[in-house]
């Protein structure tokens, strides 16, 4: 996904950048856009206005099975005799799934239809290294591809095509913290403005200097160019952030946790009129290899309380329609507990999308604790980029073509938002494509695909589910197949052609016999 | 020489440079000072041998001791002179990154810190063996209480991924099998004990295709027999000391030297510091200083002998490099990851404090520069143009543009003219201060 911006172009952009801002000792810039009316600045910023996404990153690998708990599944207690959470203690959702007892705030929002719980989110050939897995989630790549740009960085480069020639009036992305995430990085530069406190940030930047000299075209010159770019954006944005924070309202008391403080700043900035579309907040401590029960519950208590406060704050200010919260973690954890009352690195896990515009409810099948991969880890049902693609399209309002550009691939959306498409795509390890002709007189050509090696059965059933004629049964390697079936002997009427696998996978198509 | 000093040390003063140039041969400089072995320093205090106890947390002792140990280490760095050992200790602390928040007791962390000092120029393979049984490491990566029957995979994974081989050179099965081999340890107080009954009972395990009844030492020997291992650590050294994007051809040469010398650090460092690769023009000034290099290096540059170490402690946290508290087991990633809109701004706040005597929040610092005596340690002190050139040459590895140089000269002159400038006229102390402040606020100053 490298954008081939040559070094020369980059330097030209740097020059423009420095020309537009007032660089120098002790000065705060903002001149470039200070005279531009807000409506024009909006035009510069792009068409989709007013929506904001707040990402909560759970660092360390969240144990999904103790977050959204299959507390009616005996396998869960077989594999977690000491750290399994019983259903009497947990908060019921539906379909035999329960929330961790510490998540009362999120449960309340769930009951109001404001939480979409997405089950078994992951990707193929999952990585179990914290660092590589975090990079995968941040860049939006598959396991085998290494990208050096964040998916949000690519989204922002579409939203702000002038960057870095021109800096929009408001920060393009805000991260509460100190070390900028890969999420906001791109080949064009860094989209994120990173700070912990709006006032302190303003105070510190006051006195930073940057000049308009072009850095020399050397390796060291590239590093200097990078430093200058950071200096310039800091100078540009510290003032608008401080102003929005000053204008923002404080409506309720947040819990006194670090995450709640981060979300409170986000809320304050949004209510103060900031136009930033993406915010990143972080909570760490999820790498629960040992004695995890209390620690894990406390982490979710923190998140649950912080999110509940944030949501009610936004609702009080009538801003809830434009803001959506999503959680992610680099991986879930092993199904089996380990010998130290914790869990080791695993794979698929649930994600939460929270807000007033979501459909709410539990999306996707429950985790299958019997059919695990070779490491004893969960298989994923939906790719994490399906979640991100849905958010980008249905919440941030980006069209299908641009969304596809971001991930270099189209992903089927999930029914997360009220305006998301209805159909829940099935977990496809097989697919029955067509049978032609339909209606059929004698011979039907049936096409189907198998995505993993398995034993399959293809047969014709009547509408009562009685098997009328078997067409094929046997092992199939992954691939697409076609078979011609002689259906001359069956009587006229309505039938179902069905392709099934060994674990209940099934796809069916209607067929009419003349 | 300035390039070598700025990379192998935390920074250097004018007298450090003069002394380094005084050695008759470069080999002498390496053997007799830069890479010279010396006895371990005395402990910061007697608490280092106190048996860890909950009460030390409850009454706040553990926290105070951590602060004390951090100051002790900063003192070692500020007074490193021309010896590279403390830089290597920090390299290993970053490589085998353990967090105080999980290790809890500073006594354990102190033992580990001295272990890094012991092996700073020593045998890396032996260091990996020792660190695998180090109480702080056992606590941090859950080797403590890991049993052969249901082993905790945490240490096995990071041993391969981060400490020796790098991702992609082992399978999930290798991790699972190695976790059994690494089990059996229990930490009690300051010691780790191997309990055979807690070890794995299988007759053999298979790791990287070899089947044997491995123990912790033979497993690590086996890891070091894998080609990826020397390559991996040499790549990391290259990224730390040469350039953050590794040159694989040169890294391979380093790995050959490392293997030929049975994983001894000293011959490898000598090879690196005498190679043409290390002195390539294009990499000079390409490293973004770590916060520790910024803090300690600035004090060394300005010859502030007893800097306010509480200021160091606070600022290092803000700049995202609190010693004994790396962000996670992968350590500090370095280079551009040091810099965000926030940390960049705080860096300027720190260098200001050495000159103004006040932190960004107004709190006084205990030790600041006395500008006139400092200026007079330079023979050029009475000639503004030459003085600017000399200080710039000392402080910056990055070539300064003519406009920036003129800006610095104008800042020093502050309205007066070159002919009238000297350190005996009124307000020259303020001028020198302003000049140094501006110099250290240049983005170029963040590079070394």
Give me the residue from B146, B346, B447 closest to A204, CB to CB: B346
Q: Which of A201, A213, A345 sits opposite B403 (nearest CB)?
A: A213
What's the rounded mean pLDDT across residues A160-171? Answer: 87
For residue A339, give the nearest of B149, B318, B443 by CB distance.
Answer: B149
Look up the pTM and report it: 0.74
Taking alpha carbons only, the member of A129, A47, A454 closest to residue B156 is: A129
Domain final residue pick, B216, B250, B283: B283
Q: Tens digit of pLDDT for each residue in B313-365?
A: 999 999 999 999 999 999 999 999 999 888 998 898 899 999 999 988 889 99
Q: Are B161 and A129 inside 8 Å of each other by CB?
A: yes
Mutate to test the interface with A, among B341, B343, B448 (most CBs of A within 10 A): B341
Last residue of a domain, one of B283, B298, B331: B283
Please, how many CA atoms are within 13 Å of residue B269, restricted to the half-sphere of its CB? 25
Interchain CB distance below 8 Å, B438 and A25: yes
In this complex, the residue of A59, A213, A289 whose CB is nearest that of residue B152 is A289
Interface contact flag, A129 B320, Cβ < 8 Å: no
Q: Do residues B153 and B219 both lie within one domain?
A: yes
* Chain B CA closest to residue A226: B336
| Domain assignment of residue B306, yes or no | no
Contacts of B243 in chain A (CB under 8 A): 219
Residues B121 and B245 in one domain: no
Please report which residue ranges of B261-383 form alpha helices under DSSP H.
265-273, 291-301, 309-318, 341-356, 371-376
Residue B47 and residue B144 in one domain? yes
Closest CA to B355 of B299, B288, B412, B397: B299
Q: Which two tokens stand for residue A291?
A: 């004695």
For the purposes of burial, counting CB atoms within 10 Å of the CB of B297, is it exposed (0-12), middle (13-18) or buried (19 or more)?
buried
Contact B342 A25 (CB under 8 A): no
Contact B145 A340 (CB under 8 A): yes
pLDDT at B336: 94
The torsion region of residue A351 among left (phi > 0), alpha (psi -120 to 50) and beta comes to beta
CB A62 within 8 A of CB A329: yes
Give the pairing type, strands B185-188 and A506-513.
unpaired
pLDDT surpassing 50 at residue B184 = yes
CB contact under 8 A, A375 and B284: no
Q: CA A216, A219, A223 angle in degrees (round to 5)?
A: 80
Measured between beta carbons, the chain A residues lying within 8 angstroms of B152 are 289-290, 338-340, 342, 344
Would you call A451 helix, strand, or coil by DSSP?
A: coil
Q: Alpha-carbon distance A362 to A423, whole Å?
A: 14
Structural domain containing residue B276: 227-283
Q: Residue A293, exposed/middle/buried by CB under 10 A (0-12, 13-18, 19+)?
A: middle
Q: How confident is the model at residue A12 (pLDDT cuts 50, 70, 90)?
A: very low
Quick check: A230 and B150 CB within 8 A? no
Asked if B327's CB is within 8 angstroms of A219's CB, the reply is no
CA distances from A192 to A52, A104, A302, A317 (A): 14, 33, 25, 26
Q: Which of A193, A201, A223 has its CB closest to that of B286?
A: A223
Residues B202-217 pLDDT 10s: 999 999 999 999 999 9
pLDDT confidence of residue A207: 61
- Which residue, B263, B283, B303, sits at the end of a domain? B283
Spell B313-343 as b/e; 16+ CB within 10 A means b: bbbbebbbbbbbbbbbbbbbbbbbbbbbbbb
Residue B283 distance to chain A (closest CA, Å)? 6
Examine the domain organization and report whether B268 and B403 are in the same domain: no
Using CB atoms, pick whichever of A25, A289, A339 lies closest to residue B147. Answer: A339
pLDDT of residue A481: 86
Taking only the tens place, the pLDDT of each residue in A414-443 is 999 999 887 655 456 777 876 888 889 999
All residues of chain A having their beta carbon less than 8 Å from the beta carbon of residue B318 are 178
Query: How far apart are the CA of B440 and the nearest CA of chain A, in angstroms?
Result: 11
Considering only alpha carbons, which residue of chain A is nearest residue B442?
Answer: A209
Please judge whether B327 and A179 are an interchain contact, meaning their C-beta atoms are less than 8 angstroms apart: yes
Q: Please tell me the distance from the alpha carbon of residue A180 to that of residue A175, in angstroms, as a whole number.
A: 7
Please compute the mean of the pLDDT values over residues A475-493 and round it to a whole number: 88
Residues 6 or more apart whose Cβ sits within 8 Å of residue B76 = B41, B86
Q: Other CB atoms closer than 10 Å to residue A339's CB: what's the count?
A: 18
Pair (B114, B195) in one structural domain: yes
Mean pLDDT of A44-57: 72
ipTM computed for the complex: 0.91
Q: Which residues of chain A does B329 touch, with a Cβ-Cβ cutoff of 8 Å? A: 130
Whether residue B266 is contained in a domain is answered as yes
Judging contacts by C-beta atoms under 8 Å, the chain A residues touching residue B438 are 25, 209
Residue among A204, A228, A289 whose CB faces B443 most closely: A228
Omega before A437 cis (within 30°)?
Answer: yes
pLDDT at A165: 77
Would you state the pLDDT for residue A49?
Answer: 55
- Comparing A79-93, A172-186, B174-188, the range with the smallest average pLDDT is A172-186
On whether both B262 and B398 belong to a single domain, the answer is no
Q: Are residues B220 and B233 in the same domain?
A: no
Q: Give the residue-averaged pLDDT of B367-375.
A: 94
| Residues of chain A contacting B283 with CB distance shorter than 8 Å | 219-220
Residues B175 and B113 in one domain: yes
To which H or E segment does residue B246 belong?
none
Quickly list DSSP for A90-129: SEE-STT-EE-TT-HHHHHHHHTT-EEEEEEEE-SS----
**pLDDT reading at A38 higher than 90:** no
Q: Where are the alpha helices (DSSP H) in A343-442?
A: 384-390, 400-407
Confidence of residue A8 (pLDDT cuts 50, 70, 90): very low
Lowest mean pLDDT among A21-30, A292-301, B271-280: A21-30
For residue B354, being part of any structural domain is answered with no
Interface test with B, best of A130, A172, A223, A290 (most B CBs within 10 A): A223
Report yes or no on B29 lying in a domain.
yes
* Location of structure tokens 């000079």: B284
Residue B400 lies in a domain: yes
Q: Do A220 and B161 touch (CB under 8 A)?
A: no
Specify the number of domains making up chain B: 3
Nearest chain B residue to A181 by CA distance is B337
3-state secondary structure A458-511: EEEECCCCCEEEEEEEEEECCEEEEEEEECCCCCCEEEEEEEECCCCCEEEEEE
Chains A, B: CB contacts within 8 A come to: 151
Q: In this structure, what token pair is assigned to residue B80?
A: 């490193």
Question: Which domains does chain A possess?
Answer: 7-407 (3.40.720), 430-513 (2.60.40.2550)
For B173, nearest residue in chain A (alpha carbons): A375
Distance from CA of B419 to the nearest CA of A (A): 26
Would you tell me how many other CB atoms lie within 10 Å of the CB of residue A473?
Answer: 11
- What are A70-98's pLDDT values in tens digits? 999 999 999 999 999 999 999 999 999 99
Cα–Cα distance measured from residue A459 to residue A454, given in angstroms and rounded to the nearest whole number: 16
Q: For residue A17, what pLDDT is reported? A: 41
CA-based radius of gyration for chain B: 24
Q: Within a 13 Å sphere around the CA of A374, how many CA atoms are in the beta-carbon half?
A: 6
B382 and B243 housed in the same domain: no
Give me Rg for the CA atoms of chain A. 26
- Residues in chain A with CB shorter than 8 Å from the CB of B348 are 204, 207-208
- How far is B107 from B69, CA to CA, in rounded Å? 9
Position of tokens 């510190």? A204
**Do B9 and B122 belong to one domain?**
yes
In chain A, which residues have their Cβ closer than 8 Å to the Cβ of B441? 207-209
Residue A335 sits at the vertex; the CA angle it makes with A331 and A338, to the nearest 5 degrees, is: 100
Verify that B400 and B436 share a domain, yes or no.
yes
Judge: B344–A234 Cβ closer than 8 Å, yes or no: yes
B352 in a domain, yes or no?
A: no
Question: Averaged over B3-22, what is the pLDDT?
Answer: 97
List chain B residues with CB under 8 Å of A230.
339-341, 344
Please list, in sequence order, all residues whose beta carbon lies within 8 angstroms of the beta carbon of residue B163, skipping any fewer than 6 positions away: B95, B96, B128, B131
User: Is B297 a member of any domain?
Assistant: no
Which of B149, B167, B341 is closest, CB to CB, to A132? B167
Q: Is the pLDDT of residue A22 over 70?
A: no
Say whether pLDDT at A24 is over 70: no
Question: Quick one: tokens of B169?
Answer: 């050179």
**Pairwise CB contact (< 8 Å): A179 & B161:** no
Taking phi over 0 as left and psi of -120 to 50 as alpha, with beta for the rest, B233 belongs to alpha
Residue B167 sits in the same domain as residue B26: yes
Chain A nearest CA to B368, separation (Å): 20
The answer to whether residue B312 sits within a structural domain is: no
CB burial of residue A131 (10 Å; 0-12, 13-18, 19+): middle
| A194–B340 CB contact, under 8 Å | yes
In a mutagenesis test of the A interface, which of B314, B325, B340 is the best target, namely the one with the most A β-carbons within 10 Å? B340
Contacts of B281 in chain A (CB under 8 A): 218
Q: Tell me what pLDDT residue A235 has.
A: 84
Print the SS3 string covering A217-264.
CCHHHHHHHHHHHHHHHHHHHHHHHHHHHHHCCCCCCCCCCHHHHHHH
Nearest Cα of chain A lies from the Cα of B69 at a distance, in angstroms, of: 25
State the nearest Cα–Cα gap between A337 and chain B, in angstroms.
Answer: 9
Of the candidates B152, B343, B444, which has its C-beta nearest A178's C-beta? B343
- CB–CB contact A227 B149 (8 Å): no
């Amino acid at each position: 996904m490298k954008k081939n911006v040559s070094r020369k172009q980059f330097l030209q952009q740097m020059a423009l950048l420095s020309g537009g801002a007032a660089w120098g000792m002790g000065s705060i810039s903002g001149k470039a856009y200070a005279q531009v009316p807000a409506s024009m600045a909006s035009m510069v910023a792009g068409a989709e206005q007013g929506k904001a996404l707040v990402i909560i990153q759970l660092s360390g690998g969240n144990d999904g099975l103790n977050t959204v708990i299959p507390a009616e599944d005996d396998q869960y207690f077989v594999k977690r005799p000491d750290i399994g959470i019983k259903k009497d203690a947990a908060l019921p959702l539906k379909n035999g799934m329960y929330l961790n007892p510490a998540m009362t705030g999120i449960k309340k929002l769930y009951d109001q239809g404001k939480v979409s719980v997405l089950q078994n989110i992951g990707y193929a050939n999952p990585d179990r290294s914290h660092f590589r897995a975090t990079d995968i989630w941040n860049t939006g790549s598959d396991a085998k591809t290494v990208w050096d740009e964040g998916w949000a960085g690519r989204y922002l480069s579409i939203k702000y095509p002038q960057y870095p020639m021109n800096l929009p009036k408001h920060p393009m992305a805000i991260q509460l913290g100190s070390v900028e995430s890969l999420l906001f990085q791109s080949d064009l530069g860094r989209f994120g403005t990173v700070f912990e406190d709006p006032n302190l940030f303003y105070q510190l930047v006051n006195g930073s200097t940057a000049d308009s000299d072009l850095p020399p075209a050397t390796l060291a010159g590239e590093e200097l160019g990078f430093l200058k770019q950071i200096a310039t954006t800091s100078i540009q944005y510290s003032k608008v952030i401080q102003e929005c924070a000053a204008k923002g309202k404080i409506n309720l008391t947040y819990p006194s946790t670090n995450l709640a403080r981060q979300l409170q700043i986000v809320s304050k900035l949004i209510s103060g009129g900031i136009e930033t579309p993406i915010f990143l907040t972080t909570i760490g401590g999820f790498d629960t290899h040992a004695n995890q029960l209390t620690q894990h519950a406390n982490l979710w208590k923190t998140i649950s309380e912080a999110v509940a406060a944030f949501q009610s704050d936004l609702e009080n200010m009538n801003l809830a329609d434009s803001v959506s919260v999503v959680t992610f973690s680099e991986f879930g954890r092993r199904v089996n507990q380990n010998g130290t009352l914790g869990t080791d690195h695993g794979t698929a896990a649930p994600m939460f999308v929270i807000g007033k515009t979501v459909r709410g409810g539990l999306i996707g099948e429950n985790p299958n604790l019997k059919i695990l991969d070779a490491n004893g880890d969960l298989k994923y049902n939906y790719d994490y980029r399906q979640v991100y693609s849905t958010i980008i399209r249905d919440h941030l309002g980006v069209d299908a073509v641009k969304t596809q550009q971001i991930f270099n691939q189209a992903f089927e959306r999930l029914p997360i938002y009220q305006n998301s498409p209805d159909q829940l795509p099935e977990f496809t390890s097989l697919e029955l494509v067509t049978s032609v002709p339909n209606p059929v007189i004698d011979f039907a050509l049936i096409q189907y695909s198998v995505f993993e090696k398995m034993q399959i059965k293809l047969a014709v059933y009547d509408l009562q589910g009685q098997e009328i004629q078997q067409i094929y049964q046997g092992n199939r390697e992954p691939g697409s197949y076609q078979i011609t079936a002689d259906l001359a002997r069956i009587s006229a009427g309505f039938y179902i052609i069905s392709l099934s696998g060994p674990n209940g996978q099934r796809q069916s198509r209607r067929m009419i016999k003349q | 020489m300035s390039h070598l000093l700025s990379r192998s040390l935390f920074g250097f003063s004018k007298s450090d440079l003069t002394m380094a140039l005084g050695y008759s041969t470069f080999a002498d400089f390496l053997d007799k000072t830069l890479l010279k072995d010396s006895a371990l320093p005395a402990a910061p205090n007697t608490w280092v041998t106190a048996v860890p106890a909950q009460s030390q947390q409850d009454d706040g002792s553990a926290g105070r001791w951590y602060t004390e140990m951090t100051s002790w280490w900063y003192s070692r760095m500020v007074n490193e002179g021309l010896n590279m050992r403390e830089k290597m200790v920090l390299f290993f602390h970053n490589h085998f990154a353990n967090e105080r928040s999980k290790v809890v007791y500073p006594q354990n962390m102190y033992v580990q810190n001295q272990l890094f000092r012991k092996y700073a120029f020593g045998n890396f393979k032996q260091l990996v063996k020792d660190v695998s049984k180090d109480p702080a490491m056992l606590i941090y990566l859950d080797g403590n209480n890991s049993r052969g029957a249901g082993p905790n995979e945490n240490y096995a994974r990071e041993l391969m991924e981060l400490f020796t081989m790098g991702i992609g050179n082992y399978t999930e099965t290798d991790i699972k099998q190695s976790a059994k081999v690494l089990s059996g340890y229990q930490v009690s107080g300051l010691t780790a004990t191997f309990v055979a009954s807690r070890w794995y009972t299988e007759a053999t395990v298979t790791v990287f295709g070899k089947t044997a009844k491995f123990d912790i030492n033979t497993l690590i020997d086996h890891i070091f027999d894998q080609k990826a291992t020397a390559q991996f650590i040499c790549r990391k050294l290259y990224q730390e000391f040469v350039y953050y994007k590794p040159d694989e051809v040169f890294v391979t040469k380093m790995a050959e030297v490392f293997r030929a010398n049975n994983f001894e650090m000293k011959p490898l460092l000598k090879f690196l510091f005498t190679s043409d690769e290390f002195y390539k023009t294009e990499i000079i000034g390409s490293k973004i200083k770590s916060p520790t290099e910024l803090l300690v290096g600035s004090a060394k540059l300005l010859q502030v002998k007893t800097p306010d170490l509480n200021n160091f402690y606070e600022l290092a946290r803000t700049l995202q490099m609190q010693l004994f508290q790396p962000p996670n087991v992968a350590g500090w990633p370095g280079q551009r990851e040091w810099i965000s809109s926030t940390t960049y701004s705080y860096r300027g706040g720190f260098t200001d404090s050495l000159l103004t005597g006040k932190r960004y929040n107004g709190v006084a610092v205990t030790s600041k520069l006395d500008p006139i005596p400092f200026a007079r340690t330079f023979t050029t002190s009475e000639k503004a143009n030459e003085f600017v050139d000399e200080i710039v040459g000392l402080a910056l590895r990055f070539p300064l543009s003519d406009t920036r140089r003129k800006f610095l000269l104008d800042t020093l002159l502050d309205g007066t003219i070159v002919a009238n400038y000297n350190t005996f006229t009124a307000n020259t102390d303020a001028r020198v201060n302003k000049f140094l402040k501006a110099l250290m606020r240049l983005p170029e100053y963040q590079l070394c």
